[in-house]
Amino acid sequence: ETIMDKKRLPVARDLYAELGKKRTARVYLFLGEDEGEKDKAVRRIADLIRAGDPAGHTLGRFHCEAGELMQAADFALSRSMFADARLCVMLNVDAVSGTAAGAALLSEVFASLPDSTTLVMTSSANRPPKGLESVSGMSVFQFWPPFEKDLAAYVTRTLGAEGITIDAGAARALIDLLGRNVRAVDGALEKLRNSGVERLTEETVLSLVGGERERSVFEFVDALFRGDRSSLAQLKNLIENNCPELLILNQIARQADSIERFHLAVRGGDTEDEALRKASVPPRVGGAFMEMARVNPIIKIKRIYPLLGRADKALKSHRVSKSVVASPLFDLSREMLATGPPPPAV
C-alpha cells in the first residue's frame, strides 16, 4: 500500500503522540497549509534530537523552490568528524521532486542518509507530491489549517491542562487579536502561563498580550528588525522584568520566518496583499511590516538563522550570565544589528 492509497493521513496530533513517546523517524514528510504548526513540529523534533545527543545538533533549513536542493543534499549527507546529530529541513520539496534531476538527487539522499541525520520535507499540497508517493520508511503527516473556533478550543484546553481558566470571550478575543497564526498563539500562551494569573478574563488577556506596547516583546522585536539600537535598552528592560528569554527568542524566530515567507511569496509572483497573508501578517500592520521586510532582505534573514540556533542552544544549556548584557539574547541582538540594512538603491 502506498501513501496515496490511504484515505486518511495521520495529522499533527498523531505526530505529537509519537514524539511524546520520545520516538522520532528518520524521514518525515509534512503536508498541508499550516506552516506555523509545521515549524512547531520541527522544533519538537529538534528538542528530542538535542536531548538524545548531549554533544548538540546542527539544524539546516533549505528552500527547494529557491534552488537550494543541492545545498540541502550536501548538508544531509555530510558526516561530521564530531558525530553530532543533524536535522535537515527541506522546505517546499514539491517544487523539485517531480523533475528528473530532483528525483535523482532525492533518491540518493534517501539511499545514503547517515544514521545521525533526520530529514524533514515539507509541501503545502494536501497529498504527497510526485516522486514521494512510496518512499520506504518515510512518516507522513497532514497539517490542516486551523479555524478560529479550533484555535479558541486549543487555547482553552492548553491553559486548562496547567490549571489556568480562561472564559470563552477571552479565548475568542485572543484569536481575534492574533488571527490564525498558530506560532503567535503559542507565544501568547507562553506569556499567559508565565503571568501567574490563574483566571483569565478578556480584559486580562488583552492587557497581558496586547497592552504595554512600549515594554512588550513585540515592540522590542519590531525595533530589532528595524535596526534600531534602542532595542538593546528595551531588551535589557524585558529581561530585568523577568520576561522569559526563550519567549523573546521565539518571537524573534517567528518574525524572521514571517519576513522570509513574505519575500519568497513576492519572489514567486504573489501580490503584496497575498504575500502578507502567507506571512500571517494582519492587514492593520501591513505597511510597517513591508518596511521592515525592505531593510531585512532574504539574504540577511538566512544569516540570522544560525545566530538563532546558537542562542537557542546557549539558553537551553542553562548558561547563566553574571550580567544581563552578557546573555545569549544580547549577543544575538548585537550581531543582528551589526549586519545593518542594505545600501540604498541608486
DSSP 264-309: HHHHTT--HHHHHHHTT--GGGHHHHHHHHHTS-HHHHHHHHHHHH
Average pLDDT, integer, range 319-329 = 66
Lowest mean pLDDT, pick from 41-50, 211-220, 300-309, 326-335:
211-220
Check residue 118 and give its pLDDT: 94
Mean pLDDT is highest, among 33-42, 52-61, 62-71, for 62-71
Cβ-contact 236, 324 below 8 angstroms: yes
Indicate the burial class of 210 (C-beta count within 10 angstroms; 0-12, 13-18, 19 or more). Answer: middle
Residue with cell 515567507: 261
Question: In the prediction, which pLDDT does 137 show?
Answer: 86
Tell me the one-letter amino acid at 20: G
CB 61 within 8 A of CB 91: yes
In terms of phi and psi (left: phi > 0; alpha: psi -120 to 50; beta: otherwise), the region of 199 is beta
pTM here is 0.53
Phi, psi of 158 (to 5 degrees): -65, -45
Give me the percent of the chain exceeding a pLDDT of 70: 86
What mean pLDDT comes out for the span 180-203? 80
Note the Cα 334 to chain centre separation in Å: 22
What DSSP designation does 65 have? G
- Longest Cα separation, the chain: 59
Find the radius of gyration of the CA atoms of the chain: 20
**How far is 228 from 223, CA to CA, in rounded Å?**
5
Residue 204 · residue 198 · CB < 8 Å: no
Q: What is the pLDDT of residue 4?
A: 46
Per-residue pLDDT at 171 exceeds 90: no
Summarised one tens digit per residue, pLDDT across range 116-149 is 899 999 998 888 888 888 888 899 999 887 677 7
* Contact by Cβ (8 Å): 261, 289: no
- pLDDT band of residue 165 (cuts 50, 70, 90) is very high
Burial class, 331, CB count within 10 angstroms (exposed 0-12 / middle 13-18 / buried 19+):
middle
